[in-house]
Amino acid sequence: MPDRSRVAALIVSVGLIGAALSPLLRRPYDDGFPLSTYPMFAAPRPRQLTLRYPLGATADGRRRYLSPELVGSGEVLQAYAIVDRAIAQRGAAIQALCEAIARRVADSPAHRDVAAIRLVTGTHDAVELLARDRVGAEIEHGRCDVPRSGR
Amino acid sequence: MRAAESEHPAGAGPGSAGPPPGSAGPPPGSAGPPPGSAGPFGRAARWWLAPAPAERLAALRIAVGAYALVYVVARFGELIATARLPAAQLQPVGVVRVLRVFGVGAPLPAMAAVAIAALTVALLAAFTAGYRFRVTGPAAALGLLWVTSYRNSWGMVFHTENLMVLHALALACAPAADAWSMDRARRGAAGAPAPPAAGYGWPIKLLAALTAATYVLAGVAKLRIAGLAWIDGELLRNQIAADNLRKALLGDWIAPLAIPFLDHPSAFTIFCALTMVIELSAVAALAGGRVARLWALGAWSFHLGVVLLMNIWFPYPLLGFAFFPLLEAERPFSWLIGWAARRGTARDSRVG
């Protein structure tokens, strides 16, 4: 007659391993927690990406990407949501966000060369832009100057 | 408290959890190999229930508990922010679905969500210290399951916490506080508890199996979703490019090796083949010994590669906690305890 603790150990073991492997019985995109199907690096992703984001423009026309803190959040996805929402609301919302970013940029010593802020929707080939610096199409939704004292 | 080597000799190797080479029998503190029927099932049960030192299991309890404790404390601000998100954003996953089962369509009141997180912190401290573990162990693991599931129920399922939660649940079901614990210290002069007949080896193998299962699942997901075409590298290259471009456009740090490698597609074929080998061969790590260490090194390198190519951090494996069950986990703790004892002795002799 097997000892009870051994039987319990085997039941717990089979139960937990069975639960951990149970996502195999679900559709691969039917993710869950903590019993995940782990689809994150498996799904196909297009190389082309369309995104709304702010840009700094220098006086000689160079592009400067702006950190989430300058947009108004320390977190990338929240910063993205702020920009996305303002562009979706159009008009005054775009202008208000543009000017708020411009004020923060004016206070940032690392962005002394930035003369203007643009809020854009860009469509880029990710490999072309990152590896070969080939910028895709950008639609400008709003633009404002960075306030500089002494001008 | 004495060092493990002097009290309970370590087993033959990680995962194998058997007696040390050259010894005549099982380590003290285990109940010995289980009697069982012959045949494949009996052999498998004997292998699964092979003895291991209580200290190895205790070391895993301390490591996983401490990691989970720091994790929840570090994310407490985020948990408070999550508790205040609009109800419309709630998309329950896992155990949080019970809210709907009980007809509660809305999130918990923010105070309740925060109180559960605070209670979980206290329970995890008890879990780590091995204080009244038979009660606090399961309660802490369930608290952790709830807190992490709730955090994942707001539109984005993270994949960095799954294994930590599964390990905590497994430890909660095991006699993980029979050594190096407040429970053990409270027993004091009464001595060590009688070792359970099932021994201390099976929970260690269970944790190792859970680690292996998550990697196998990740490999199988790639085959189910993309098929063998995943190995040609194009899909991974696009993923890395898109992920890094999003980071670049939004002013975040991009991974240091992403740009140098994006122009060399053949490198991604190698990365993909290695990834698939590591993920699908995870079961081999259960063999223990050198195979387990080699696999753990490969899996850890994979996570390092994810950091260097995608700037995505999986701290549980990167810090080694995911692979701890495959190693002789009690060794660093034994060394620490021995070091503290030597320092104490030296101080006493100076005072004397």
Q: Which of A4, A21, A49 faces B242 most closely, judged by CB atoms?
A: A49
**Nearest residue of A to residue B153 by CA position?**
A33
Do B162 and A122 lie within an 8 Å CB cutoff? no
- Report, as an integer, the average pLDDT of B251-275: 93
Residue B254 forms contact with A (CB below 8 Å): yes
Among the partner residues B36, B203, B225, nearest to A42 by beta-carbon distance: B225
Helix (H) or strand (E) holding A54: strand A48-58
Residues of B with CB below 8 A from A131's CB? 241, 259, 262-263
Q: What is the pTM of this model?
A: 0.85
Residue A63 CB neighbours (<10 A): 13
Give per-residue pLDDT as tens, B86-109: 888 888 999 998 887 776 667 889
Spell out which residues of chain B touch residue A35, defining contact as CB-CB under 8 Å. Answer: 94, 162
Q: ipTM, 2 decimals?
A: 0.86
The three-state DSSP-derived secondary structure of A74-137 is CCHHHHHHHHHHHHHHCCHHHHHHHHHHHHHHHCCHHHCCEEEEEEEEEEEEHHHHHHHCCCCE
CA-based nearest residue in chain B for residue A79: B250
pLDDT given at position B154: 83
Is B168:B208 a contact under the CB 8 Å cutoff? no
Res A50: pLDDT: 94
What pLDDT, in 10s, does the model give residues B70-81?
A: 999 999 998 888
In the block, tokens 């890395």 appear at B240
Weakest-pLDDT range from A67-76, B134-143, B332-341:
A67-76
Mean pLDDT over each residue of chain B, to the nearest integer: 87
Split at pLDDT 50, 70, 90, the class of B7 is very low
Q: Write down the mean pLDDT value for chain A.
A: 91
Give one DSSP letter per residue of B331-350, joined into a string. HHHHHHHHHHHHHHHHHHHH
CB distance A29–B225 less than 8 Å?
yes
Is A127 within 8 Å of B152 when comparing Cβ atoms?
no
Q: Are B150 and B115 in contact (CB under 8 A)?
A: no
The mean pLDDT value for B141-157 works out to 91
CA–CA gap between residue B212 and residue A92 (Å, rounded): 54
**What pLDDT is attached to residue A48?**
93
User: Could you report the per-residue pLDDT of A105-134, keeping only the tens digit for each?
Assistant: 999 999 999 999 999 999 999 999 999 999
Residues of A in contact with B15 (CB under 8 A): none
CB contact under 8 A, B213 and A17: yes
